[in-house]
Amino acid sequence: MFSLEHLIVKPATDAQAYEALLREAGYWGAKAGITVDDYVKLGLIFKQGAFAHNGRLTHWVLVPEDNPSTDKFYASCQVFTREVLALRPGKTSPNSGFGHAINVVLVPPEYRGKGYGKRFIPSNLSWGAKIPGKGDFMAWSFIGLQSLQLVVTRLRATPDSFPLLLDSAFQVARDAKCESVEIWNVPEQLSEIARATGGETTERAGDLSAFKWYGQECDSRVDNSAVVWALNERYSWC
């Protein structure tokens, strides 16, 4: 087993990319009920699309520094690369550059819990706030062009940690000149704290939760107004 300082993140070789695809098939494909063969075929078809050409979709792997070509890598991910325009504070015209979206991060079960997946994320990336030494955190995203809004996408907090996390979100929202902060389904034990900061609970008219049931049809007269949605949290762009 290698320590983190002896591991590097690098673009995958063709052999490593194929191995990563096989691992994805065994994990994500199995969850979706897709066979390994079908998942691999689908992945290879995707790579032929225009959105994947010329380095626009690549695999990256976490490998030992002294054996970078091994197919026994510790973690893998896919990276979408796109040309972007960025307007810096104080500037009147944007600069062109490249943006990267990291997805399909996969760490084999025997290597999990060691921080390997985090190696794909830049250490200075701002994604939210975390209470040191605990599992409490708040993750957020920004939504809107004309009316910028900070949307909390994940919240794991106690009555003790929630005020600290909320203060962090408010500070970031102020710095970004957001008009509001939105959290879906604040846990009951935290709702009073949210109200004390000026928060209010409203019924949303859009982005409504739904699912399709393909099993036996129930009596259409059943009242579903009391349905409780578990972990009903907003996604980063929905």
Cβ within 8 Å of residue 197, ≥6 positions away: 166, 170
Closest CA to 44 of 66, 69, 17: 17
Judgement on whether residues 21 and 59 belong to the same structural domain of the protein: yes
* Domain assignment present for 34: yes
Say if residue 41 is in the same domain as residue 116: yes
Regarding beta strands 75-86 and 57-64, do their DSSP bridges make them parallel or antiparallel, or are they unpaired? antiparallel
Instruction: Provide the pLDDT confidence category of residue 237 given band limits of 50, 70 and 90.
Output: low
Per the structure, how many domains does the chain have?
Answer: 2
CA distances to 26, 30, 42, 219 from 37, in Å:
10, 11, 9, 40
User: Is 222's pLDDT higher than 80?
Assistant: no
177 and 133 together in one domain: yes
Do 89 and 35 fall within a single domain?
Answer: yes
Across the range 92-105, mean pLDDT stands at: 88
> Could you tell me if 116 and 134 lie in one domain?
no
> Hey, which residues does 78 pair with through a beta bridge?
59, 103
**Within a domain: 227:** no
Q: Check which CATH number belongs to the domain holding 99 and give it.
A: 3.40.630.30
Domain membership of residue 148 (yes or no) is yes
Tell me the residue range of the domain where 23 lies: 7-120
Contact 157, 190 (CB under 8 A): yes
Task: Tell me what pLDDT residue 4 has.
Answer: 72
Same-domain check for residues 16 and 96: yes
Name the pTM for this structure: 0.58
Say how far apart CA 72 and CA 106 lie, in whole Å.
Answer: 13
Question: What pLDDT was estimated at residue 5?
Answer: 77
Angle CA(60)–CA(130)–CA(171) in degrees, nearest 5? 110
